[in-house]
Structure 1
Amino acid sequence: MRLSSRATHPLGWALLALLLFLLPFALLREQSYVTIDDNLDAELSIPYLLTRHQLALDYRAGAVVLPIMNGLPRNALRPGLSITVLLFGLFEPLPAYLVQQALLRVLALLGMYALLRRHVLPAPRARAVAAGLSLAWAVLPFYSMYGLTVLGQPWLLYAFLNLRRGPGRWPDWLLIAAFPFWSMFVFVGPFVVVGIGTLLLSDVVRGRRWSWPVVGGLGLLVGLYLVVEYPLVYSLLVARQFVPHRLEFDLSRLSPQGVGAGLQSAAQYFFMGQYHASRFFHGVALLAGLWAFRRPAGPGQVPRSAIGSVLAVLVGLALFCGFYPQLVGQVQDLVPALRTFNLSRFHFLTPLLWFVLLAWGLQALPYGKVSMALVVMQIGVGLAMNAEWLNNLRELARRPKPTEPNYQAYVAPALFAQVRHAIQQQSGQRPAQYRVACLGLPPAVAQLNGFYTLDSYQNHYPLAYKQAFRPIIAGELAKTPDLQTYFDAWGNRCYLFSAELGKNFRVGAFPERVVQDFDFNAVAFRQLGGRYVLSAARLAQPGRSGLALRHDFSARNAYWHLYLYEVQP
């Protein structure tokens, strides 16, 4: 895409605004707030451990990651042929995370701008609108550990639409080839193939010729995903290294049942989206889309039938995702694969569809104050719903939320160094020679600090390990049906549970939490290799749990107050 200096002017302003958006991360550095749930408590430790233990490209059947779950099969984790893993190999976890986020957001802005200017808003007077809309896309809340999975989709659509127009150029093929190396196949790969395939078939139905370049592009995308995702393919389909714990998934037990619950969930998907795939209010896009739909299409504008089709797809996907747990509950016994593969992940495509709808709506408006007002509104929506960015503004203002610690406070390296030193002084052992489990804090925090944990938060691990771990926490699970269902019907969080703490996996130092009765199976813990329990809550009667308090630890600016318990012989 060739751009004159005049054409790049709005894009330059958008890039400058994006740099200002990223400035808080650069200023705060280790004091930056990093999204915790399903991110800092799970995702950051994986590429860190793969690279530090030289296992990123070790796909042997017997390769294991010893710090996780007493030796989690390496092929249960993300592939090594990944830009994300490369960045974590070059930098420490936090710099790698911040560098990746900055790169992804810049690429997101450029990709959306390329898509809009080539295929949606090509008119010269639409440059400012396209640049503003690209900025709105780039500031959306998203999980940067998933790479280009969501915010990189405009590049992929741009390349496929170019192929749809003709044979395409080498950059189009390069974009398609690069996408699998910086995205998550299980979240977006199959669904992109279905989406592009549906577009291809709709062209044929409407009388357009079959596009072989698009077919070739899909083949290239799938082929390279198979190469990148070799660990997953090999472990599940070739070697069948282990039976995954996901075979015990039962989404129908985890979700409310009934038509009302399904409609409420569908409304959430339609108006807000799903948080892993970028949650933001879709009202601006819906307003613009409905405006465009009610007006006759002018020259060069998208026909009403196309706008109606996209709206129908968004409604259909919202209903499908909203009722999915109930639907899959009816057939999962007949088709066990539905337990392990989540078909509702079509919602990863909906953020881009909403922005396409918004762009079509802006196309139907005169390019001026009204269209720019809608763009500014969408930018405001993205910023207002970007909790990571907002929490960093609070950090800069020295008014952080007490329940949302920054990276340094949450990972607390000085505090965990005290624990390692105390254990080494007492036992003469280094972390690789003993195993710990965590209560009231995510095991990923201990893993980032060099500990080897029996517990972990994993999307894919052996069912046999889940069954071996369960006796340790069986007493606590028996106290509350909610936790029992949470573990038995899902179990990604293979944690030490306490009925008194519930699903509070972030027990801060203040106020102090005391667990009065911890029904812990010390014998099963020892049999699995466990020796220490790192607890963020004090146990009132550790002896009844087969544990003895060895020490407690605190550190300035650390979010946690840790209690070290050792299992009694």
Structure 2
Amino acid sequence: MQDHSYITIDDNLEAEFAIPYLLVKQNVALDHRPTVVLPAVMDGLPRTAARSGLNVTVGLFEVLPPWAVYEVQQALVRILSLVAMYALVRRHWLREAHQKALAAGVALCWALLPFYTIYGWSVPGQAGLLLAFLELRRGPARWWHWLLIGTFPLWSIFAFVGPFVLTASGLLVLYDWWQTRRLKARLVVGVLLLLGMYLVVEWPLFYSLLIAKQFVPHRLEFDMRRISPMGLVEGLRSTAQFFFVGQYHASRFLRLAILLAVSLAVLRAPASQQVKQLRRFGPWLLVLAGLALFSGFYPQLVAALQTQVPAVGAFNFGRFHFLSPLLWFMLLALALRILPVRWQVTLLGMQLLVGLAMNAEWLNNLRELAGRPRALEPNYAAYVSAPLFEQVQQTIRQQTGLEPAQYRVVCLGFPPAVAQLNNFYTLDSYQNNYPLAYKHKFRPLIAGELAKSPMLRAYFDAWGNRCFLFSAELGKDFRVGAFQQRVVQDFTFDPSTFRKLRGRYVLSAARLAQPAQSGLRSVGVFSRPDAYWRIYLYEVMNK
């Protein structure tokens, strides 16, 4: 299907995809000097706020077109994860000759989970990392075990998993010491290697934030009290979600088959052995419940601490749940190995169906193949709409003689990443980390719309990762398709702030009923049958 494949949009195409592309496109992927910026984003996003140039994903953008990067990485992540999980369970849990097929089934179910593969090996690669550390614990490891540890930071996102896999590997060292009363030097070296490689890969980020203090992150203004539901009921509801389903960044799948496997393993055991089985599975379930409880109540914990330490919410320590999918699958392997074959096959089949049924990316691709795509889920080519945006650029070029680098745009009703992938220079963006000063400069541009909507006001002021052009009438609809024909009747826009930010054009997926009242004039309307968007082009009027 190539570029007509469906690729996950939420927090993926709209957030994680465009920046690595631009790092390569604008020749700053490996230039980590503190003074370097990414000019196409937010009028000069500090280079150190973006992904490291040593990351494998960024390297793929050097040699492949964007859509191919995603599909090649998807294949690599899933195939290598299949091999890693198979090796892990064969080596440590399903070692008997007759358990090869069972191990293959567990590995297949693991590799088919709905991972965010744009994060590389952050979650699926944990199987290989655990295998390496267990081999170090068992005895002298082979060279490729060290390679697994050393390369994990090159293909993972530190903010999502770095502190947590380091904590888990450190706990393994302490557990081994507690059991043997000896500290294994090779285990310690393994942890130090993992830490050292993260320091190498992410050194520009650490240096800019902790040493040079290049900029104050916008995350310091995160306010959990305004953006997360508070209270016992909400905390328990969130805990239940983390325990039974998980969180979509870390792989969202129903744990039903695994819980059934554990229940059957206990209930089918002789009465005299049931307590033993409970002791075998109990600690795993307690750890998983503890992780879910911590993540479920983490926003409320941060909200309580923010009264004393306002910056405590800048880093999300609640992401320990990124370790949960691997722990659940270890539990699955332990339970299946003591069940009859018929139950093994049934439960693996159930888990496989759960993984496929909850993988929206694969389901949407099946709909694409069947010629019945979902209206609100365009494929990559329709989403990026390169010919459409080339028409927009050509019109601007004909009227003004300007190239995209010579003017700045903002986007209404669609993610700025779409414009970025089409080589526009955007003042808005979806960023997990950017200067707080820029957030404060951008806010007057949208202050009028924020004043109309308490929901959007809290969304921007207390969070702000989506530094977008908002409309109270559109709300959080950031995907206004051409077929929707949305019209914004009253759009409050600050043209003077826009001009101060060097802005010139507004690209809107919704028509503005009265652009002149917003200090804008209509330049043109652009549409194509193969594009998801209809773009209304507005230019800011002179004073």
Common topology (TM > 0.5): yes
**Which whole-Å CA distance do the structure 1 matches of 2:200 and 2:176 have between them?**
30
| AA aligned opposite 2:90 | R
1:100 — aligned with what? 73
Match of residue 383, structure 2, among 398, 405, 410? 410
Match of residue 465, structure 2, among 483, 492, 502? 492
Residues 42-84 of structure 1, C-alpha deviation per residue, up to 9 Å, x if partnerless?
1111110001111111011110000000010000000000110
Equivalent residue of 1:552, what SS?
A: strand
> Any residues of structure 2 matched to 1:81-480 within 5 Å, and which?
81-207=54-180, 209-293=182-266, 295=269, 304-366=278-340, 368-480=341-453
| AA aligned opposite 1:448 | L
Equivalent residue of 1:436, what SS?
A: strand
User: Deviation of residue 345 (structure 1)?
Assistant: 0.4
Distance 1:459 1:105, change over 3 A: same
Equivalent residue of 1:445, what SS?
A: helix
**Which whole-Å CA distance do the structure 2 matches of 1:333 and 1:90 have between them?**
48
**Which whole-Å CA distance do the structure 2 matches of 1:476 and 1:327 have between them?**
31
User: Deviation of residue 305 (structure 1)?
Assistant: 3.1
| AA aligned opposite 1:285 | I
What are structure 1's unaligned runs of at least 5 residues?
A: 1-27
Answer with 160-169 or 526-535: which moved more. Answer: 160-169
Answer with 307-316 or 450-459: which moved more. Answer: 307-316
User: Deviation of residue 289 (structure 1)?
Assistant: 2.2
**Which whole-Å CA distance do the structure 1 matches of 2:506 and 2:39 have between them?**
18
Answer with 272-281 or 201-210: which moved more. Answer: 201-210
Answer with 333-342 or 144-153: which moved more. Answer: 333-342
- Native 8 Å contact 1:292 1:360 kept in 2: no
Distance 1:170 1:296, change over 3 A: farther
**Which whole-Å CA distance do the structure 1 matches of 2:279 and 2:19 have between them?**
45
| AA aligned opposite 1:54 | N
User: Deviation of residue 203 (structure 1)?
Assistant: 3.3
**Which whole-Å CA distance do the structure 1 matches of 2:378 and 2:161 have between them?**
31
| AA aligned opposite 1:83 | V
**Which whole-Å CA distance do the structure 2 matches of 1:417 and 1:410 have between them?**
14
- Native 8 Å contact 1:293 1:308 kept in 2: no
| AA aligned opposite 1:509 | A
| AA aligned opposite 1:383 | L
1:10 — aligned with what? none
User: Deviation of residue 303 (structure 1)?
Assistant: 6.3
User: Deviation of residue 333 (structure 1)?
Assistant: 3.8
Distance 1:369 1:441, change over 3 A: same
- Native 8 Å contact 2:77 2:117 kept in 1: yes
Identity of aligned residues (%): 61
| AA aligned opposite 2:388 | L
**Which whole-Å CA distance do the structure 1 matches of 2:266 and 2:137 have between them?**
25
| AA aligned opposite 1:84 | T
| AA aligned opposite 1:332 | Q
Residues 370-423 of structure 1, C-alpha deviation per residue, up to 9 Å, x if partnerless?
111111111111000010001000000000001100000000000000000000
Residues 248-272 of structure 1, C-alpha deviation per residue, up to 9 Å, x if partnerless?
0012211111100100011010000
Q: Structure 2 length as normaliser, TM-score? A: 0.97
- Native 8 Å contact 2:306 2:312 kept in 1: yes
| AA aligned opposite 1:63 | V
| AA aligned opposite 2:331 | L
User: Deviation of residue 424 (structure 1)?
Assistant: 0.5
User: Deviation of residue 565 (structure 1)?
Assistant: 0.3
- Native 8 Å contact 2:221 2:311 kept in 1: no
What are structure 2's unaligned runs of at least 5 residues?
A: none
